[in-house]
Structure 1
Amino acid sequence: MAKRKRLTPAVITDAPALETKSAIPRYPLGVAPKTRAPIADVAQDASASAALTEIAQTLTDARNEGRLIQRIPLELVSDEYLVRDRIDVDDDEMITLLDSLRDRGQQTAIEVTAIDHGRYGLISGWRRMQALRHLEVPDVLAIVRTPADSAESYLAMVEENEIRVGLTYYERARIVAKAVDQGIYRTDRVGLVTLFHAASRPKRSKIGSFVGIVRALDDHLRFPTAITERSGLALAAALEADVTLADKIASEINANSPKTADAEAAIIAAFLQPATTPPAAKAPAPALGGDSLTEAPRELGQGLRYKRTAKGEIVLSGPRLDDADFRQKLQDFLTAL
């Protein structure tokens, strides 16, 4: 029987060395640290990227929709972008605003819109702008709006001031006239209804009356915001009734150069005084005496009788007609009939 050949394993030189006790890693706490699979890193990176994208989009949307308050250099904001509806600023109001800005800083953002060359046009917050400039503050907190057109900018300004500031009727009417003059609206009527759409019909009517005053006297009045509602409506009616009145008032104001609102109001009031008219002629006294036809009214006294002639005269008969005082009172009574 043939002898079997004994086989031996092949020697592989690149094979790792046999594991020994010293080759087993030792861990301080006896627990191997956790390792991350590559897929976990990929998932985390994707999640972080998505979060950053969402934050960036949220900020972009807030900026585009005018919900993001930004800090803008004050020198880059132009307050001549719109014709302002506020003409005068009360000194006490400005002092109060300055004190508040010094003590607490700017609490309410202004509203602006991007125009050109990195600059911004002021929509609302004119008083805050003036106060901040007075305090030489370098930056202003602002919300950047993106109105569709100038008409929307004017509307935003008017609505903001209607809420925050008590504008006079003259100031409201003036912004209507100026917006129309700049071609924002076709007519005074369209501008009035658009800018003050939230106002009541009587209020819009009064503003419309003051628009006539603005058209006629805006270049001549020195204290237009002092015109009260009552005197303004009377002036508007007078200007509409007499087309020459505006020139007369303007000439008088320019000649006298009133230094106070009361002095200017007195000049205007002089033109609104009603003209003196001669007293109306009294109706001829009724003829007394003659025949009676019907019973007289009780107010004439018991027993008196009267009749009307073809000429409309009243003929009386009865007792006490010889009393002069009674006859005079009776004539006065009958004249008032």
Structure 2
Amino acid sequence: MRFARHGGPEVLSWDEVPVPQPGPGEVLVRVSAFAVNWADLLERAGRYPGAPAPPYVTGHDLTGVVEALGPGVSGPAVGTRVFGVIPRGGAAAEYVAAPAAQLYPVPETLSDAQAAGAAGPYLTADAAIVTMGRLAEGEDVLVHAAAGAYGSACVQLCRAYGAGRIIATAGSDAKTEQVRAWGADVAVNYTTTDFAEVVREVTGGRGVPLVLESVGGDVLGRSLECVSPGGRLVSVGASSGRSSSRFRLHTLFELGISVSGFTLGLWLEHHPELVRPSVERVLRLFAEGRAAPVVGRVFPAAEVAAAHEFLADRRSVGRTVVTMTPAP
């Protein structure tokens, strides 16, 4: 799946290209399914920093079966069902050659659709909560866009890791009900209610020790109002496509707030050893049934453009997935 120019979903096309050959440290994977995420939409539109110039094969999150090993690779073994995130892209294809270190065996508890979208949201959520956010047991947390892939992972992991009250935002009443079912104590429809006021009311005006933010723009700016003195805000993306104009340096040192950013792709490329603890924790939760990737909808390969539109319209609850396996 490639595009020759930037634009809307209409620029996407399936092209015939040679099957890649795995190089040193790589494995060849026959893709079963891949997820569509906000990075894919922004790359296609020409709004993602650092993305290569088109045409190139899109997609980052996938699941599939190992078909061949490249030089110097001892595993995962041929025939192993794997999942992972490919920072450089290429997941939206029948075959992809990817670094073996960026792929992990799929837990038996996950379907292909769940596995296709599991690594990105859950490894990012774990790092944001544990490594960057330093969540302590009993601490209150504000999770934005909680009905999405990353947000739903945050709600589940915060609950599993012993958070106090989980305050979650979502874009409709139906989504807030779903977020409560995943473990949120307070769910706010941000289209009708001021989430900052709710946080102040719930916490008695103090704010929360940890904010998990992925929207950017005004949401990021207003989230700084929700962090308690000495608290943390972790930003992992900007699905709004906008930065914030409401950042005051004084906010940091007057209240002792720490703000950090995290991008899973950078860690996978440059510090894979930092990702390993997240992998181990997340796989353990999947195996124990304490967390499960949420799939909003599965599209056939012929309808990738529709999958992009579905996600862009914010209709997805959880992950939007494309299957490469023909329907029976």
Would you tell me which structure has more strand in proportion to its own residues?
2
Larger Rg: 1
* TM-score of the two chains, using structure 2 as the length reference: 0.26
Structure showing greater relative contact order (alpha-carbon pairs closer than 8 Å, 6 or more residues apart): 2
Would you tell me which structure has more helix in proportion to its own residues?
1
* TM-score of the two chains, using structure 1 as the length reference: 0.25
